[in-house]
Every structure is written in structure tokens, then in C-alpha cells.
Chains A and B, each alone.
Chain A
């Protein structure tokens, strides 16, 4: 038996693809043949002159465009004679999967990756992505994804296979779960205002899974660099979690609520970044550490420990763990900063609230990205000291400022 040649491999792949097509097509084509008339009827009802007119009208008006996005989630209910969502419609699935949830943010983060590379390149006086897409390489992320999809998934012989594969999947799960707790406005949300009363606590609880998953990946990789990186990540995430909580505490004292909706409503007079500027600083610093970004990128320090806990992950594993999940986390933390300190979706009425929220979040993301461009990496003992001593002291001082403001009725 000789080694299979490239041609044989190619034939094998073509046969596999044909097999999958033969398997999947009947599942889609046969129902179309059998139920074609019913589906056509439903489509005719949807593609009615009247409904098209409503859709175009809504899409042109930025205020109604978001309503339109939300109404799409009501799916079959829209196709009734009245074009009004009825009581039985449940947009939850659409909200989790598409609009304020996963797909929307995944597309946003795809573009954020390009933006970060371009921003760093401009500051470093380089070109950055240039060729994919006519305008300064905007299509580079798509080219990257296509490249990653064609790469072999390598699982090291010594690794614990089930845990090694579980880590990217669980990371995706936690990213999607975090997104449910960041509302875009009073009308675009996943967790409804009525049941969001403990929103922040639940967010902390979900975030608590990250160190566990990172350590799991590090241990399953069975690699010295991975394990050192995983331990570093554990120390870092743990050290900055307490200052992060204490920074949020000041805002909770001022609003008497853990509900993101109430916290934003309480900022109609003044954004909390003004009375709570110490908390904002502590929160932003701790956020940089929780996101493992430069100057706190010790878990992935590529000049010291190859790529930290991600060393053995390649191909699409890497795409999920380094391309998608950190950017979703970045969006979540920036969105939380916007909700807590920058007044969320509040703003002058010439733009819809959702646009205000995205704009403010984008400003925070840019600030966080700028810290990467010109900072060195700090030492681990200094990192832990800063987290445990200075940030906690600042956060406690800030807590008493908040208590004073609340008790003497200033805010």
C-alpha cells in the first residue's frame, strides 16, 4: 500500500461532498415537491403589493427600520391578512439567533477585526490589509474565514480529544449567552425588561465560566506552553474580577437596581461617567485585563509562551477561540460600559436609540483598541499587585463617593 496521492485525496473529497448532497438535498427538495403549493400560497400572501409597500416604507425610515427588523422575527404571523403581529407570536428565537443576538454581533465583530488591524497599521505607519476588496481590504475577514474553513483541524496525539473539541464549542455557547444580557434599547432586547431585574448578577455568573473553560483548554492541550498560559489567564481573570465588581457597585448604589434598563433610565439627567469617573477608570482597566488585551495580554504573550493557552489550537478552532469569541467579549464589555457609564441608548432624538447605543459602544471599543497599539506588556507580579491593591482601593473610595451622593440626595 502506497501513500494516497493528491489526486486520490481529491477524488475522495469530491465523493464525500456528493454523498452529503445526496443526503441533504432530499430533505429539502422532497418537502418542496410535496408541500410546494402551500409554501407558494404563503409566499404570495407575503409578497403582496400592500406588504411590500409597508416594508419599503419602514426600511427607508431609520426609526422604523429597527421595528421592521423586530417584526421579521414574528415570521409566519406577519403573513396573515392583517399584517399585524398577533398575540401568539414569539420573536424570542429570532432575537436570540439573529437581530440583537448572535448573527448581528458576529457580523459586527467580523468587521471589528478588520478595523483593529487597520487602526494598528495606521498608528504603526504600515498599510494593513490591502488587497481583498477594493476599498482598503474590507473583505479581508471573509477571505480569512474561507481560508480557515479549508484548513485541516489538527488535534495533537497526546491531547484529551473530547475536552479539546468541547472548549471552542463551549466558548461559542457562553458568547451567545452573554449577548442575551446586553439590550440595544427599550424595544430591542433579548431578556425582556420585566425579567431583567437581576441582569448584572446573571452576567457576572455567566462570565464566571470563562476561567474554567480556559483552564480546561489548557489542560486538555497537554502542552507546557498551554498550561503556563492557562495558569496565567486564571490568575489574571481572578485578580481583576473583584475590582470589576466593586466598580459596578457604585452605579448599583446610585440606581438601587441591577437591571440594565433601570440603570439607563436613571441616567437621563447626567451620565454616570461624571459622578463615577473613578469607577469608570477602574472598570475600563479591569475590562482590559478581563479581555486579555495588551497591556494585560500575559495569557497569550506570543514573545514568551508561543501563544499561551491557544498554542495547540489551529484552523477553525483558532478562528473561534481567537477570531470570534474575544471580539464578542469585547462587544459585551464595551456595551456594559456604555450601559453603566455612558447613558446607554439615551441621546438626542435625531437618531434612533439603537444607533446611539452602537455608536457609543463603538467609541469604547476604539478606546480599548487604542490601548493595544502603543503599550508594552506588564510583568505578572505587577499585574496582580495593581489589581489587588490599587484598583480595589480606588473602587472602595468610589463606593463611598457614591454612598455620599445618594445619601445627601445629590443624585
Chain B
């Protein structure tokens, strides 16, 4: 079976995007060099200090924060990959027929139940 969207090899595409990214970085360099040359430089202790709303900065800047929404980050790691599986099915769906949709419906049901339970636990803030 020939899947319409997936027949060409891709290498060229990646190379083009890589070129573009390199160009973007290169285009950023002169934009930062021009101010370096023409701007007046008068550094002072107050100017180089960490900004804390006008106060004298106190303590470490890299504080340990309470990650009360950490559970959502964990969920993302799992469900992002799963949502990519769905793309593989979606491209091939026209050739696979309705029966594949039933399989995917079961798959989605399992995922959504798991996601619901994870959301229930993530909502309990005292756990995190």
C-alpha cells in the first residue's frame, strides 16, 4: 500500500532548514555588534546588579521554587509522544478504513482515562 504523504526521502528539507537557522544566527551577530561599537559604555555597580524592583539584591538569584505544577510537565513527556503516534495513523487512515478508527478509539479511551486520573492527581496540590 502506498501512503500518499510519505513517499519522498527527506534530507534536503532538513538541510534547507539548517541553512536557514545558521543564517538567522549569522544575521543576529551584526545586530549585536553595532550597539557594541557605537553605544556609550558607562558600566557601574548599580547598573550591572541583578534587577530586583529597585531594591539592593539579596540572597541567591537561583532560588529553589516549589514546583506545584510539576505533574503537568511529567504528563507532557508521556502524552506528547503518544500524540505523535496518532499522526502516523492519521496519514494512513484513508487506506486503512473504518476498522482502524475503532482501534484508535480504544487507544484514545485508554489514554484519556489515564490522563483523567493523572489530572486528578495533579490537581491535588498537597501531593506536590
A interface residues, Cβ below 8 angstroms from B: 6, 9, 13, 16-17, 20, 92, 96-97, 101-102, 148-158, 165, 168-170, 172-177, 179-181, 190-192, 194-199, 201-202, 206, 219, 222-225, 227-228, 231, 234-235, 238-239, 241-242, 245-246, 249, 252-253, 256-259, 262, 306, 311-312, 315-317, 319-320, 380-381, 384-385, 388-389, 392, 396, 399-400, 403, 406-407
| Known pairs A172-B24, A176-B23; A151 contacts B14 (CB<8 A) | no
| Known pairs A153-B35, A195-B12; A222 contacts B61 (CB<8 A) | yes
Q: Write out the residue numbers on chain A whose beta carbons fall within 8 Å of the beta carbon of B51.
A: 156, 223, 225, 306, 311-312
By the criterion CB–CB under 8 Å, are A173 and B69 in contact? no
Task: Scan B10-49; emit 1 where CB is below 8 A from any A CB, else 0.
Answer: 1011101111111111011101101111111111000111
By the criterion CB–CB under 8 Å, are B80 and A241 in contact? yes
- Interface centre among A177, A179, A228, by most chain B C-beta atoms within 10 angstroms, is A177
By the criterion CB–CB under 8 Å, are B38 and A256 in contact? no
By the criterion CB–CB under 8 Å, are B25 and A249 in contact? no
| Known pairs A180-B16, A256-B92, A389-B119; A9 contacts B40 (CB<8 A) | yes
How many of chain B's residues touch chain A, expressed as a range? 35 or more
Task: Determine the main DSSP class of B at the interface with A.
Answer: helix
By the criterion CB–CB under 8 Å, are A150 and B35 in contact? yes
Q: Write out the residue numbers on chain A whose beta carbons fall within 8 Å of the beta carbon of B53.
A: 225, 306
Closest-by-CB residue of A relative to B79 is A242
| Known pairs A249-B86, A403-B101; A16 contacts B37 (CB<8 A) | yes
- The CA-CA distance from A249 to B94 in the complex, in Å, is 13
**Nearest Cβ distance between residue A299 and chain B, in whole angstroms?**
13
By the criterion CB–CB under 8 Å, are B76 and A241 in contact? yes
Q: Write out the residue numbers on chain A whose beta carbons fall within 8 Å of the beta carbon of B32.
A: 153, 165, 168-169, 316-317
14 more contacts with CB within 8 A, not counting A149-B35, A168-B32, A177-B24, are A17-B37, A102-B23, A102-B27, A152-B42, A156-B51, A170-B25, A176-B23, A179-B20, A198-B13, A241-B80, A256-B95, A258-B91, A381-B69, A406-B94
- The CA-CA distance from A176 to B24 in the complex, in Å, is 5
| Known pairs A191-B13, A219-B62; A101 contacts B108 (CB<8 A) | no
Q: Write out the residue numbers on chain A whose beta carbons fall within 8 Å of the beta carbon of B79.
A: 242
Q: Write out the residue numbers on chain B whose beta carbons fall within 8 Å of the beta carbon of A259.
A: 5
Closest-by-CB residue of B relative to A256 is B94
- The CA-CA distance from A194 to B19 in the complex, in Å, is 18
Count of A-B residue pairs with CB < 8 Å: 227
B52 CB-CB contact with A under 8 Å? yes
13 contacts between A and B (CB under 8 A): A150-B35, A152-B39, A156-B51, A169-B29, A176-B23, A223-B51, A225-B52, A231-B67, A238-B72, A256-B92, A306-B53, A320-B28, A396-B108
- The CA-CA distance from A278 to B31 in the complex, in Å, is 42
Chain B positions 61-111 with a Cβ under 8 Å from a chain A Cβ: 61-63, 65, 67, 69, 72-73, 75-76, 79-80, 83-84, 86-87, 90-95, 97-98, 101, 105, 108
Neighbour of A228 across the interface among B23, B50, B65, B92, CB < 8 A: B65
By the criterion CB–CB under 8 Å, are A380 and B5 in contact? no
Closest-by-CB residue of A relative to B24 is A176
7 residue pairs, one from A and one from B, having the closest CB atoms: A176-B24, A173-B24, A172-B28, A257-B5, A173-B21, A177-B21, A173-B25
B127 CB-CB contact with A under 8 Å? no
By the criterion CB–CB under 8 Å, are B10 and A195 in contact? yes
Neighbour of A202 across the interface among B13, B63, B93, B98, CB < 8 A: B13
By the criterion CB–CB under 8 Å, are B38 and A17 in contact? yes
B114 CB-CB contact with A under 8 Å? no
- The CA-CA distance from A300 to B77 in the complex, in Å, is 24
Q: Write out the residue numbers on chain B whose beta carbons fall within 8 Å of the beta carbon of A156.
A: 48-51
Q: Write out the residue numbers on chain A whose beta carbons fall within 8 Å of the beta carbon of B98.
A: 403, 407
B56 CB-CB contact with A under 8 Å? no
Q: Write out the residue numbers on chain B whose beta carbons fall within 8 Å of the beta carbon of A312.
A: 50-51
Q: Write out the residue numbers on chain A whose beta carbons fall within 8 Å of the beta carbon of B12.
A: 192, 195
Q: Write out the residue numbers on chain A whose beta carbons fall within 8 Å of the beta carbon of B23.
A: 96-97, 102, 173, 176
By the criterion CB–CB under 8 Å, are A157 and B48 in contact? yes
By the criterion CB–CB under 8 Å, are A242 and B83 in contact? yes
Q: Write out the residue numbers on chain A whose beta carbons fall within 8 Å of the beta carbon of B13.
A: 191, 195-196, 198-199, 202
Q: Write out the residue numbers on chain B whose beta carbons fall within 8 Å of the beta carbon of A219.
A: 62
Q: Write out the residue numbers on chain A whose beta carbons fall within 8 Å of the beta carbon of B49.
A: 156-157
Closest-by-CB residue of A relative to B118 is A388
Q: Write out the residue numbers on chain A whose beta carbons fall within 8 Å of the beta carbon of B72.
A: 235, 238-239, 384, 388
